[in-house]
Structure 1
Amino acid sequence: MVQRQRTLATFGAGPFATGDSIGGRFGHYTFDDAPKLLGILLAEFDNREGPIIRHSVPKGNDKVEATFAFTKSLIIPKPSMFRHSFSLTVNSLGCKVLMFPVGIDHKSYERGRFTFDMSFIVDMTSSAETMYEPIVQKCAEYLIELEMEYNFLTNPKYKTHVLEVMEKMFVDLSTRGESVIEVTLEDDKIVSLYFKLCPLYRGCEPPEIDYHMVPMFIREVELTDRLVEKMDVLSQKIIPQIDGINTVREIAINLELDPSLVARCVRNLHFYECVSLVPMFLYYNTYVATERVHDFYKNRNEINECLEFVKIQNAIAEDGSEIPMPTPEFSDVFRLYLSMKVAQNETADGVPEDYLSSIQCGKNIGDWTEEENPRAKGIDEHRLVQFGMHHQFLRKLSVYPICTVNPGNNSLLKACNGKTSLDELSLQHNVDPRKMYSILYDAQKFEFVMK
């Protein structure tokens, strides 16, 4: 018996990525509403001079100093406002200041307290300045820890280090939306600081996750020990299981976890555009190629990713030895995508006689596999479909029942509103889709459309 290995599915672009798949601002994403970062300033309370600017970037930016002159009473506020995020709009300068003032009490400081605030100044033409709020707070938390352990802000020997951190953070966030900064401390100890600008969703709730959806990583993820250590315990277990094959429910079963816990983790990853979600692969599903398959033909990076992903993975024989599998030819892969097309014998009214015939406006993937035999070409039909769905080369056709009578209080009849597919109904009621179709068709209360 030969078993297929499953590997982590990672792609450079997907349905939620914009632009090309080679870098660009924010890695593989472009956040159109990301406000321009104008400057960063580190202010402190001097016991003789009062609030002062200790460092500011970029150098020579008059707007940063002018902003401080307007806002210094809030940048270094009263103790009651310590460790709270707030912002201030300076209309005359066309900017907004995001602040998180901090006061550290310790007998080693003159007057027993050290007060500082690293503020971010952003362009006010964008309404998305709150994208920076988590970074402002995280930056403050890093500095609190470094100051309490190493006197990073008050020890003169670290003065240039602080400025270098601010300069690198400003450049990286402005150009890439993320920054990793290594700080060398005493005894050559190195501390890494991580910052990432996340997209703004203006109060929208993350989408609900169906247990039968398959999560797939949008951008490349290398699960290093350092990265895993920074995850919570639940994510450490779940993320390595995301391979573009397993559904949310299957991941939960493999890990012996409640599906709701896995769904919550995947929901957050999806919300922040780390993963896309594609329908569960089933052999009675029908898929058709979209116009985007022609763009795929011209994209060398996606072609290479595809060939690596869709090939039959290294198989393991009964004796435990690996059976290497060759990389398929692109001509075969592209032809197989094009072969998934709408047939000419589609019924005029879109109402099928039975569930199997309902997918004759395209072949179900089981019949298609028997006819095309992709495995003879070294291609895994499961992976071929998932890659196509992820990159939108393919779309899944679904049957949607529409109730033609008054549904009353019947939850099933209410659900048959043209918006819930037959597959979803079947999964909700744990019934085979063919049987569900037969039940609804025999009831003579429904019409069916495929879209």
Structure 2
Amino acid sequence: MTPRSFLPQVVGLFYATFDPSLGPIVQYQVPENLIADSTSEDSRSRSHSPSRSRSRQASTPDSYPSASHSPLDNYRSRALLNFVPLSEYVIPKKSLHGRLVTLLTTGLDDNADQAEYRIMGFPNVMTAPEEGTYTRNEYMWNLCFVFHASSSLEAFEPIVRKCARILRSAERDSSYLSKPSSSHIALPAVLEQLFEDLNSYSETSIPLDGFNSLELKLFPFYPNPPDCEDWHVPIALVDLNAHKDDNWDITAARVCQFIDGVNHVKKIAELADADEALTREIFRHMLYYQVVMMVDIFQYSNMYTLKPVISRLAADETIISECADYVTRRGFPRPEWPILLHLYSKLQPGITVHDWIEAHEVLSLGIDPRRFVSFGIIKGFLRRVNRWAKLVERREPLIQVPEQRKRVGFDESARVNSSGFHRERPQTYLNHSTLGANESALSLKNPGESTFTLRSVGSNASLGVSPSSMANFTPPSIHNRSPRRGPFGAASAAGTNSTHTVHPRSHASNADSQTPSHHSISSRRAIGGSTTNTTLTTSNTASGGLHPGGSGFNFRYGMSTRQREEAHAIKKAEELEEDLIMFLDGSHHADEIQVKFGWSWGQLEKILGLDEVEDGMGRKGVTVVYR
């Protein structure tokens, strides 16, 4: 969990007002040595309030509790802050009144060393309802909270605003600030209780004047969670299964059981059978409440390097005591911290985890490489060196079309089944090489059926049609076409010489008695000893040829199964390459590309041509930036 999730400690509080004769002064402060007002020794004594009893004696804004004070040098040595350079912003001009003001200043810590602090206040000004109520008819004041500079103050912003609002209401109702009464709780006592209760209990309840009271409660502030991506790997910081109950969201209950520090978000969604978008949203909620953290996908091809903060964390007792227990496998002795720190120092850009393991015999020491890397990332002293691929010059296609298996050709007409019909292969093919300039052939074959063989005039190309479904396989322009329409479905025009005529003949007994009016179809069927001849002639014209761009029937009937598979593979490769090129702009690292396309780094390296690199450029024109 990050330090931002914890509530910061209040270093001190002080109440400042504008004195008509002295200007801005500190009237009350907790603790006593918080801030020094060096305008004059007398003002310091009045601004110093060592006890609650003395502060209660004050009756007017110009009369302050008297208290003995240390000599000037001793007082300055004990004060953490100096009020003089801050007074202009603590009691500012009217343009800043009614606004939350935060200051960053330098002071001393308890050991008299230099330290930085943040001061948060909400300056106010009250105008006198009647003349003579306030000197100069205005009363300006500010209640300020002091924190260490490294603290996250978002949780205290509503507290400071509410304190200013309640005190303003108390001043308006009973002059609580300007004219304290013995029946009121003194303001110094209120500051002390605020200081102790907020630091100890994160809440407080303080009555002020019988009409108003401070009811405050601190709530931890959680920053907006970072974006959750498919390639992120969640690591549970608490036992999620122990906290799971029946009121949990269904998706959250399903995905949490697959959080093991290895599975990335997309894989978890697949294992849980959950929607990827919902899974990402679940992990964003977990990140918000800081019960998980995200790391990168661990691969032996990854590269890591140390952060500069290792110089400070290397002496951290918590890290030293936890590291060996976390990274050592069972059954092996725990290595000493100097050995582990030496191994961390050898993780450098350009050296993969696999090379690091081999070079330093990490496995023989009983160290789990994945947990070793995860520990450094969780503690914040180790970071990933990502690969960012960028296409600079496309020298050759990135995606290669897979080779199709070639079929062995043979004469299908030689195969005759037991019923006497030719048994054709379950494929569709179109052979242009054996046709004349004005002739085409079409072969339609259905697996598991007997077929007729239709041959084009003057060609060996054939058209196989099942006798039981010949009408179904006949192009619409041939079967039951209108007399006014052309052979390919277009209206016949003058000068068109395309003809398609089908004249089925009878059996051999009357084969010679019937002659077709047009010798355009020749078909031969062998059934026992009888044959039937039919001819099909297709004359290409300018208006309707058998080619992909023509106006004839669908060209897919003229492609073989192998040709269709090759065309599909080419189209798929082109689409895949277009998608891949979109990720090669230098803004997507390797993990994102790998998860998107389901490739390992070894596969991606070959696809991008990075297995052969010369002068920083792969053979396909892709370069990689490491950062």
Instruction: Tell me the TM-score normalised to structure 1 length.
Output: 0.48
Instruction: Tell me the TM-score normalised to structure 2 length.
Output: 0.36
- Which structure has more RCO (C-alpha within 8 Å, separation ≥ 6)? 1
More helix by share: 1
Compare CA radii of gyration and give the structure with the larger one: 2
